[in-house]
Chains A and B, each alone.
Chain A
């Protein structure tokens, strides 16, 4: 019996988050003059966003599989699901993200840096000057102008520390569902010192040691969230933070990291009603919209 319990615990995937799709109930695609799509195939998650006349009509947010073209296809299908719009109504499609060259239905690809800046400009509004995107396997700090055009950026895509992947490893290690990490990291009597190892491999060893010393799981989560906030801050500090400050990507949903980061940044974080993970896809879809308006679209 005890063994069975262990077995089932092993199979639970704590890093998993819920995949979702959404359709704008106020938009009728048949009224739209220009319909474009942006597909962001990231290392961990993929999004497809359908843009009608510069507005978000529908989107999907899914886990990236081992095959980029297939992930792009699944994301687009899922976004179109629940809409009655046929795929061939999409006049222009842009691929972005880590797997952007492997989006078979894309007419062209644009880097995720440009797309995130443009997307953040849309979902947070044009007051955004600094965008922090913490994705599955990278972390980007982008400075942009009022049009969402990139002025400068810094990126870490070499090291898992300060990326979503690092947090997934910890969720798995501590058997805490990743969506609960933020909440639980605040359920501590006293804020512990941050985990001191930068490298995720060593941080894991350090965390195991802390548990053996008698630390609660929530305390270890707090210590790791704090370490991650410091790590992310070291990147945005280098590019210089200018108001207004917006955060995109999956990590924006982890209050445990973001609230601690905002305390260091000493700024207010912009608010949005949109899913922060779709920023790249939104940017890509909007670039498509601009291209079609300029007559550079492919299809009629």
Chain B
């Protein structure tokens, strides 16, 4: 059976096409302000990547912040359940899933079947989401993609006082004026954000193996800070962590009759 999972996120909309347990194709597009158009574009890109047409898709699962606009979907799946399914799919040993996207952070405790046991969410505050690093990249005047690699070149531990992204921006400007190196500032930024996510994970308990999904999973600088603060050697991350929720939605769609 061919299923699709569409995740309409705050920043990007991702679609995954799966045949049974195999990924056939994927497509991503900026969500922007027209969610309906973005959903269509990302779905079409994924179909093209898989080399199939829309009529080949039997079921569609929708998830993400903009899921109400996914009119194509047969099933709407909440992000927590989608993440749990996806983590279990990629890594059956997963017991804790953390999902950090552009505008939210989640921690989900799951069992060996990928069922949700407990979870914690932050979707109110940019301090624990990708938007934080984005805002700091602007203050540092570097590209978002450079932030992680820059942080990895520093071993300094500069504490940041501000939690709020808006206040942290002023603090970063202050650090620049104090002639602190950009690599050290970038490290401080990642450490600060990791501590927000870690406190969320600790609320549901740190159980191995730990899996990270969501777009911020591509930022190895952040993953390093996270590992250090969680005091673990390894965090499992799939090749394309941003597609986590889409994969989960496609799998839930396959299971629903």
Contacts and interface: CB of A to CB of B under 8 A. Distances in A.
A201 B131 contact: yes
Interface string B132-150: 1001000000000000000
Contact of B125 (A169, A198, A205): A198
Contacts of A208: 33
Contacts of B132: 201
Interface stretch (B16-24, B158-166, B228-236, B242-250): B158-166
Contacts of B33: 208-209, 212-213
Given A209-B33, A212-B33, A200 B166 contact: yes
Contact of A201 (B135, B173, B177): B135
A212 B174 CA distance: 34
A159 B177 contact: no
Contacts of A205: 10, 103
Contact of A160 (B10, B103, B131, B164): B164
B124 A198 contact: yes
A201 B163 CA distance: 13
Contacts of A158: 163-164
Given A66-B174, A209-B33, A212-B33, A199 B167 contact: no
Contacts of A43: 170
A137 B167 contact: yes
B4 interface: no
A199 B174 contact: no
Interface string A23-52: 000000000000000000001000000000
Contacts of B131: 201-202
B126 interface: yes
A166 interface: yes
B167 A165 contact: yes
Nearest to B124: A198
Given A66-B177, A202-B131, A165 B125 contact: no
Contacts of B174: 66
Contacts of B125: 159, 198-199
Interface in A243-296: none
Given A66-B177, A159-B125, A209-B33, A201 B167 contact: no
A160 B103 CA distance: 17
Nearest to A66: B177
Contacts of A212: 33
Nearest to B122: A199
A166 B165 CA distance: 11
Interface string B90-104: 000000000000010
B126 A166 contact: no
Interface string B101-127: 001000000000000000000001110
A262 to B, nearest CB: 26
Contact of B166 (A66, A160, A197, A213): A160
A200 B125 CA distance: 8
Interface string A102-140: 000000000000000000000000000000000001000
A166 to B, nearest CB: 7
Interface string A178-203: 00000000000000000001111110
Nearest to A156: B164
B232 to A, nearest CB: 28
A13 to B, nearest CB: 14
A166 B170 CA distance: 12
Contacts of A159: 125, 163-164
Nearest to A197: B124
Contacts of A199: 124-126, 165
Chain A CB within 10 Å, residue with most, of B163, B164, B174:
B164
A272 B122 CA distance: 41
A142 B168 CA distance: 26
Nearest to A67: B177
Contacts of A165: 166-167, 170
A137 B161 CA distance: 13
Given A159-B164, A165-B166, A201 B124 contact: no
A158 B166 CA distance: 10
A213 B35 CA distance: 13
Contacts of B164: 158-160, 200
A208 B10 CA distance: 13
Contacts of A201: 126, 131-132, 135, 165-166
Interface of B: 10, 33, 103, 124-126, 131-132, 135, 163-167, 170, 173-174, 177
- For the complex of A and B, the 7 pairs showing the least CB-CB separation, nearest first, are A160-B166, A201-B126, A160-B164, A159-B164, A212-B33, A200-B166, A199-B126
Given A43-B170, A158-B163, A197-B124, 10 more contacts: A66-B174, A158-B164, A160-B165, A160-B166, A160-B167, A169-B166, A199-B125, A200-B164, A201-B166, A202-B103
15 contacts: A43-B170, A137-B167, A159-B125, A160-B164, A160-B167, A165-B166, A197-B124, A198-B124, A198-B125, A201-B126, A201-B131, A202-B124, A208-B33, A209-B33, A212-B33
